Amino acid sequence: MSTDDRVPVATGIARLHASPGLAGPGRLGLVTNHTGVLPDLRPAAPALLETGARLVALFGPEHGLHGTGQAGESEASHAASPTDPATGLPVHDTYRCSGELLDKLLIDSGVDALVYDLQDIGARFYTYVWTMFDLMVSAARTGVRFVVADRPNPLGGLVSEGPLLDPAWASFVGRAAVPVRHGLTCGELARYLNASAVCEAAGRPADLTVIEAVGWQRALHAEATALPWVAPSPNIPTPATAAVYPGTCLFEGTNLSEGRGTTQPFEIVGAPYIDARFAPALAELGLPGVYFRDLRFVPTFHKHAGQLLRGVQLHVTDREAFAPVRTAVAMLRTLRRLYPDRFAWRAADGGVEGSERRPFIDLLWGSDRLRRAVDAGDDPSALCEPPAPPGRWAGEDVLLYP
C-alpha cells in the first residue's frame, strides 16, 4: 500500500487533545507510556497539559513509562513517587499491582478520572489490556471514572482466533474470557469487560467512557492507516512483528527461543536441536499466507543466549490469509513429531501473577487443552477456532467501528 493510499485516523487521544472536555470534569490521571503520542508523534502528556487539561498524575504499565523494561519488568524506582521530568508529574507504577494495593494507589493519587492511552497488539496475552482491566476494577470500587482514549487494533478487527480463556487458568497474561486473538480495540474490549468480568470482580461496572478513534475501520491493519508506528514494547519493533505475535508468542511456553535477543523477535524461532528437517516439514503443511525460511541465529540474551541455533523465519506473504495462531499451533505439533525427546514445555517462572509454576503454555493458551493435544499426537487445529467472529463472541453491542 502506498503512502497516498493510507487512511487517516484521529485517535482517541488526538480527539481529547483537541477537546479536553471529552474526559469530563475533575483531576485526570493518564495511563500511558511511550506509545501515548499524538499522530504527529508529540507525547500526549505534555501536549494535554498545554491545553489546560487538569492532568495530575501518570500511571505506567509493564515495560514502564518509557518502554525500556524487558518482558516482566517495569521502570519502578526505589523512590515512593518518581517524577516524570517532561511534565513534573508523579509517575505511579501499576505493573504487578492489583486489588487493595491498586485501590489505595488510585485513592492516594487524588484523581477523579483515569484516561487510558496505550497501544495494544490484539492478543490476549499482551499485558496492557490487563493493566486496563485491573485499573477498571479499582476504578469501579473507588468511584474513579474511567476513560479509554481508543486506538486501532494493529491486526485489524475482522478476525478472531483461538478459544476463550478458561477461568481456571487466569493470570496476568489473561484475566477473563477473551480469545487468543480477540479482534477488538481497547475501547471495545473495555466495553465487553465492563459488562462482564469487571462487574464480577468489583460488584459493579466502572463509570466508563470510550473516546472513539475516528476514521478506523475493521478491515484496516496497522500499515493501512496513516498513523506512525511506535514499538509498543522492546520486542515488538515493527508491524511485521505484531502480525506474527499472536501465534509465535506461544513459543515462550517452550524450550525454543522466540527470537528475543535478536533484531527479529517473534518472527524467528529456533533451538540447538533443530536440524534441516524443520523448514521443509512446515512447508509441506501448506499453511496459507506464510513462507518458512531455514535460518541460523545467536540470541544475545534470554533463552539459549550466546548459542548457535537453527530454526525458521516466518515471512508473511498474505496478511489476509495468514492465521498466526493456527500457524503456530501447527508448528508446535510438527516440533513434537520431529523432536519428541528434545522439544519440551517450560514452567512459568513466577514472574507472571497466577503462574504457580504451571506450564506457561497453559497460561498463554488459557487452558491445558493445547499442551495435552500436542503431547498426545492429536491434531490440535480445531482448538484454534474462535467462539465466534469479533462482536459475536463479545456481543454485537460492544462494537464501535464498521
Between 334 and 357, whose confidence is greater?
334
pLDDT at 355 over 80: no
pLDDT at 357 over 80: no
Compute the average pLDDT of residues 162-168.
96
Return the C-alpha cell found at 365: 493458551
Q: Give me the percent of the chain exceeding a pLDDT of 90.
A: 86
pLDDT at 330 over 50: yes
- Of 57, 47, 107, which Cα lies nearest the Cα of 81? 57
User: Which single residue is written with the C-alpha cell 533451538?
Assistant: 271
For residue 290, give the nearest of 312, 322, 259, 260 by alpha carbon: 322
Mean pLDDT of the chain: 93
Measured over the CA atoms of residue 217, residue 220, residue 221 and residue 222, the dihedral's sign is negative
Distance separating alpha carbons of residues 131 and 31, to the nearest angstrom: 9
* Cβ–Cβ < 8 Å for 126, 120: yes
pTM: 0.94
Per-residue 3-state assignment (H helix, E strand, C coil) for the chain: CCHHHCECCECHHHHHHHCHHHHCCCCEEEECCCCCECCCCCEHHHHHHHCCCCEEEEEECCCCCCCCCCCCCCCCCCCCCCECCCCCCEEEECCCCCHHHHHHHHHHHCCCEEEECCCCCCECCCCHHHHHHHHHHHHHHHCCEEEEECCCCCCCCCCCECCCCCHHHCECCECCCCCCECCCCHHHHHHHHHHCHHHHHHCCCCCEEEECCECCCCCCCHHHECCCCCCCCCCCCCHHHHHHHHHHHHHHHECCECCCCCCCECCEEEECCCCCCHHHHHHHCCCCCEEEEEEEECCCCCCCCCCCEEEEEEEECCCCCCCHHHHHHHHHHHHHHHCCCCCCECECCCCCCCCCCCEHHHHHHCCCHHHHHHHHCCCCHHHHCCCCCCCCCCCHHHCCCC
Q: Residue 75 and residue 71: Cα distance in Å, rounded?
A: 11
CB half-sphere exposure, 30, CA atoms < 13 A: 31
Q: Considering only 74-83, 226-235, 302-311, which range has the smallest mean pLDDT?
A: 74-83
> For 4-8, 144-148, 216-220, 255-259, which range has the lowest pLDDT when averaged over its residues?
4-8
**2 Cβ contact partners less than 8 Å away, ≥ 6 residues apart:** none
| Model confidence pLDDT, tens digit, residues 58-78 | 998 876 677 565 666 555 644
pLDDT at position 295 is 97
Arithmetic mean of pLDDT, 182-198:
98
Architecture of domain 3-230+391-398: 3-Layer(aba) Sandwich (3.40)
Above 60 in pLDDT, residue 325?
A: yes
Domain boundaries, the chain: 3-230+391-398, 239-384
Which of the residue ranges 49-63, 157-171, 324-338 would you say has the lowest mean pLDDT? 49-63
CATH class of 239-384: alpha beta
Mean pLDDT of 145-169: 97
Q: Which three cell numbers stand for residue 135?
A: 485499573
So what's the pLDDT on residue 81?
52
